[in-house]
Amino acid sequence: MNLLNLFKSSENIVEYHQGEIIFSEGTRGDVMYAVLDGEVEIIVNNNPVEVIKPGNIFGEMALIEESFRSATAIARTECKLALVDQKKFLYMVQQTPYFSLEIMRLLADRLRNMNSGGQTRNLNSQS
């Protein structure tokens, strides 16, 4: 199973143009995003730290800890993103064990990356 398969038929899809800000560091977040098409760059303290590609998610921390955004997300290319609100997120965690495991792997990977120097990396779909 691929995360992309979980979101490709989503009813809540938005498109962003290259260079458009999706959200800014320090703002309150109430949704996470799944990349269906295109690339999103994640920037922390004005430093690029990650490129999110189709089949991956970002902005999940806003739903997990209900705090301010810790990064800025900018459309690196034309993007098509599925929005996931708190209700959908909780449903997916409860009903799809694979989704929960992928969220934990993603957070562990990002923490490991930050602890090892945090150089910009591409996050590709793994399965």
Q: Which residue has the higher pLDDT, 91 or 40?
A: 40
Is residue 54 assigned to a domain?
Answer: yes
Number of independent structural domains in the chain? 1
Angle at 39 between CA 23 and CA 46, to 5 degrees: 50
Is residue 123 assigned to a domain?
Answer: no
Is residue 34 assigned to a domain?
Answer: yes
Contacts of residue 74, Cβ cutoff 8 Å, sequence gap at least 6: 19, 20, 21, 22, 40, 41, 43
Is residue 71 assigned to a domain?
Answer: yes
* pLDDT reported for residue 31: 94
- For position 34, which CATH number holds? 2.60.120.10
Tens-place pLDDT, residues 97-114:
888 888 888 888 878 877
Tens-place pLDDT, residues 41-93:
999 999 999 999 998 999 998 888 878 899 999 999 999 999 999 998 898 88
Reference 81, options 25, 1, 20; nearest CA is 20
Domain ranges, residue 101: 3-114
pTM value > 0.75: yes
Is residue 92 assigned to a domain?
Answer: yes
Is residue 127 assigned to a domain?
Answer: no
* pLDDT reported for residue 117: 64
